[in-house]
Structure 1
Amino acid sequence: MLTTAAVCHAPHQSFKFEDIELAEPQGTEVLVRITASGICHTDISVQQGKIPFSLPGVVGHEGAGIVEAVGRGVTSVRPGDKVLLISPSCGGCGPCTTGHPALCEKPALRWSGVRNDGSPVATLQGQALGMRFLGQSSFSTHALVEERTVLAAPEDIPAETLAPFGCGVVTGAGAVLNVLQPRSNQSVVVLGAGAVGLSAVIAAALTPATKVIAVDMVPERLALARELGATDTINGAETGDLTAAIKEAAGGGADHIVETTANIKVLEAALAALSRGGSMGLVGAPGGGEAATLPVVPFISGAKNLRGVVMGDGTPAFLQALMELYRQGRFPVDKLIRTYPFEQIEQAMADASSGKVIKPVLTFNP
């Protein structure tokens, strides 16, 4: 079938709207009409040439939509269902079978650009396109995905609010609730008040932690962090010693830190502010080759922990819980979102890159 996609032809080039030929669903594949797609910095990194992907291709990995058709092997959804697109997983490797699908051992599901059997998902003028970016390629009016990349969603959540749950929201919330798991009277410091960081703030406010500290350089974002549950804020632009500022706000040292900035200097300053037995979850990914200095002896003597976080270690059940929390008014991620028509993708990407908008979400005509 013909569908319209924003095709990235080469790094540093603008997206070009193209009519592409999408394959018909087979086996365990699901055809989804995209109604909204969030924009993540991972998408921007492909366009900027920082992350390799098969180009020309279609990126986008925070999709939401309506099922239009399914392959014969699909059992979890049917045409007409509202769905959230999530991180792909094989279901059979060690991490998948032990409850950690975000750590699936088959990276080809995220980066290969083709179907599981190696055939193209879509073509442009007879030439194969790089598709299924992080399992989705949601910068298109339709996406052909595997069943395990689809999660049924409540009808009453607006598509533009639903879409970011698949990456930014689950990553920030999961870093707190699944990985760090704050206990009573502890402190949680969130470095960076973007979509991931503010999702972490909302999640931290739901825990028994009594100190939720947001760090950013934009006053408006810090004000929003307070609205979303932060008890304290630190403006990095006004702070000469970030380590000291975090220690003071946390009452001596941070029990838990969520690092979303991908800034090595911020990371190192925050590491020095960890309390004895404290933990840091690394979410933000700096450029390839960048390295941080780890004070090994203080880490050992203080029994501190440093852990990478992938997609918040989220599962379908966890995402369903987050969606229910939103429906209850306890996870107000809609406050992070600004919508753009699909045709304004370049403006949305620019606003995301500059930090003007926390979470741009593309909306698609019915």
Structure 2
Amino acid sequence: MSSQLTPAIVFDPVTGLDMRDVAVRPAGPGEVAIEVRAAGVCHSDLHIVSGDWPADRPLVLGHEAAGVVTATGPDITSVQPGDHVVLSWFAPCRRCNRCAAGQAWLCTGTKALANTLPNGSTPFTGADGAEVWPYLGLGAFTGRLVVPESAAVRVPDELPFDIGALLGCSVTTGVGAVMNTADVRPGQSAVVIGTGGVGLSVVMGLRLLGADPIVAVDLSAERLALARRFGATHTLDGAEDVAVWCQEHLGGADYAFEAIGSPKVIETLPRMLAPGGAAVLVGMTPTGSTGSFDLFDLADQGKRILGCNYGSSVGEVDIPKLARLYLSGLLPLDELVGRTRPLAEAAQAFADLRSNTGARTVLRP
């Protein structure tokens, strides 16, 4: 089988963002070919476009997607052509010590962060034959792609592709931050800073586990209204002193989730907490970011700061679980999908994201 041409959204560190045709080679050993049906637009993609995370090569962007298996390489056992799948961007190696310990989100053997497939290759080439690389090992802003088997997670056929795409990153990250990273218990209080796709998913996870009260904080009245519908019991304008409010009204929160990736906001989290509380860093900051805290307060009050990568989730376990929760009506994800755009409108989708209004934008190839 020969390579196939497909349109793709490519970020080139020299020429910037554009849409171009790329060739996709067939699936090789340990690989799966996918027809992409929907792809969410995430801040991790925007970090590349904005230069927060430097890119050293042309990248097919996109890492939050769902689609249909069209072909498999040799020895693939978990999926077959025709299966509906969600793409898990942090494709684990399944062999390192962390994977063996059930902590696939800390895999030390994955090549996803190097923007390659597990063997160090790329499935994409440009019109001139030059290599174009898959962002986070996927490159999902395209019509077709090739991924490692561990990145293709089978889901029920009745799961809508738009919802499945969001399970690939934002929902798994947000709900996982509550269930896995923080292990929130019923009746515990929580404040959520930032109510974009990930923050709203945190709110949904908190409601699902019976947290109370749930305080959502944002600068957007539109997003705060969404947070109310997703389960927030209180909403605050981000211009307020959230730490003072938490201490006056809650005696401090048991958990404070930061879903923006702002170092300045992260520095304020410990002051929002009750003794023994935990700050959960869910939003991704620009590389090299630092922050400072009152170290005596952390030690004296037994407060914790928890890093959260991908919701401390194992894609093969957590994505099907979240799909079932949605299909049973326990996760109201439909309202999380805001505007849908064709792939050619990726630049406008990034503008939607920069404006910090509305729900998740989904691209359809």
Normalising by structure 2, we get a TM-score of 0.94
Q: 1:243 to 1:115 in 2, by over 3 A?
A: closer
After TM superposition, the runs of 4+ consecutive aligned structure 1 residues lying more than 4 A away are none
Report the equivalent of 1:268: 267
State the SS of the aligned residue for 1:30: strand
Q: In angstroms, what is the RMSD of aligned CA positions?
A: 1.6
Work out the percentage of aligned pairs sharing the same amino acid.
35
Asked whether the 8 Å contact 2:326–2:332 carries over to 1, the reply is: yes
Contact 1:276 1:302 in 2 (8 A): yes
* Alpha-carbon distance, 1:42 to partner: 1.0
Shift in Å, 1:54: 4.2
Q: Is the 8 A contact 1:281 1:307 kept in 2?
A: yes
Shift of 1:318: 1.6
The CA deviation at 1:127 is 3.3
Provide the secondary structure at the position in 2 that maps to 1:343. helix
Q: 1:215 aligns with which of 195, 213, 217?
A: 217
State which drifts further: 205-214 or 187-196.
205-214
* Cα shift at 1:11: 5.6
Q: Deviations over 1:250-274 (max 9, x none)?
A: x201101111122233222221121
Match of 2:296 in 1: 297
Q: Which residue does the alignment assign to 2:344?
A: 343
User: Which one-letter code corresponds to 2:177 in the other structure?
Assistant: A
How much has 1:12 moved relative to structure 2?
6.9
Letter in 2 for 1:324: R
After superposing the two structures, state which structure 1 stretch, 87-96 or 98-107, moved more: 98-107
Structure 1 residue 94 displacement after superposition: 1.5
SS at match of 1:361: strand
* Amino acid in the other structure paired with 1:281: V
Structure 1 residue 306 displacement after superposition: 0.5
Match of 1:7 in 2: 10
In structure 2, relative to structure 1, the CA distance for the partners of 1:11 and 1:88 (3 Å cut) is farther
Residues of 2 paired with 1:54 and 1:150: CA distance?
A: 26
Secondary structure in structure 1 of the residue aligned to 2:209: coil
- Confirm or deny: 8 A CA contact 2:190 2:213 kept in the other structure: yes
Question: Residues 110-149 of structure 1 correspond to what in structure 2 (within 5 A)?
Answer: 110-149=112-151
The partner residue of 1:190 within 158, 169, 192 is 192
Task: Note the residue ranges of structure 2 that are not aligned, 5 or more in a row.
Answer: none
> What is residue 308 of structure 2 aligned with on the other side?
309
Distance 2:328 2:291 in 1: 40
- Judge conservation of contact 1:173–1:203 (CA < 8 Å) in 2: yes
Q: State how far apart, in whole Å, the 2-side matches of 1:270 and 1:73 are.
A: 48
- Per the TM alignment, residue 235 of structure 1 is displaced from its structure 2 partner at its CA by 0.9
Q: Give the Cα–Cα distance (whole angstroms) in 1 for the partners of residues 263 and 121 of structure 2.
A: 40
* Aligned positions of 1:146-161 closer than 5 A: 146-161=148-163
| CA distance in 2: counterparts of 1:354 and 1:171, whole angstroms | 22
One-letter amino acid of the structure 2 residue matched with residue 171 of structure 1: T
Alpha-carbon distance in 2 for matches of 1:46, 1:110: 15
Letter in structure 2 aligned against 1:327: L
Question: Would the alpha carbon gap of residues 221 and 105 (structure 1) be closer, same or farther in structure 2, given more than 3 Å must change?
Answer: same
2-side partners of 1:12 and 1:131: how far apart? 15
Supply the AA of the counterpart residue of 1:350: A
Distance 1:117 1:222 in 2: 44
Aligned to 2:93: 90
In structure 2, what is the equivalent of residue 355 of structure 1?
A: 356
Equivalent-residue separation in structure 2 for 1:132 and 1:14 (angstroms): 14
Counterpart selection for 1:99 from 90, 102, 125: 102
| Structure 1 residue 129 displacement after superposition | 2.7
Look up the equivalent residue of 1:283 and give its one-letter code.
V
Change (3 A) 1:11 1:188: farther
> 1:272 is paired with a residue of what secondary structure?
helix
What residue in structure 1 maps to residue 333 of structure 2? 333
Q: Confirm or deny that 1:280 pairs with 2:283.
A: no
Give the partner amino acid of 2:261: A
Taking a change above 3 Å as real, the CA distance of residues 184 and 111 of structure 1, as seen in their structure-2 partners, is closer
The CA distance in 1 between the partners of 2:14 and 2:330, in whole Å, is 40
Q: C-alpha offsets along residues 152-183 of structure 1, whole Å, 9 cap, x if unaligned? A: 01111211111011111111101101111122
Distance 1:234 1:194 in 2: 15
Q: Is 1:61 paired with 2:60?
A: no
Shifted more, 351-360 versus 147-156: the winner is: 351-360
Checking the alignment, whether the CA contact within 8 Å between 2:126 and 2:132 is kept in structure 1 is: no
Contact 1:111 1:132 in 2 (8 A): no
The within-5 A match list for 1:73-88 is 73-86=75-88, 87-88=90-91
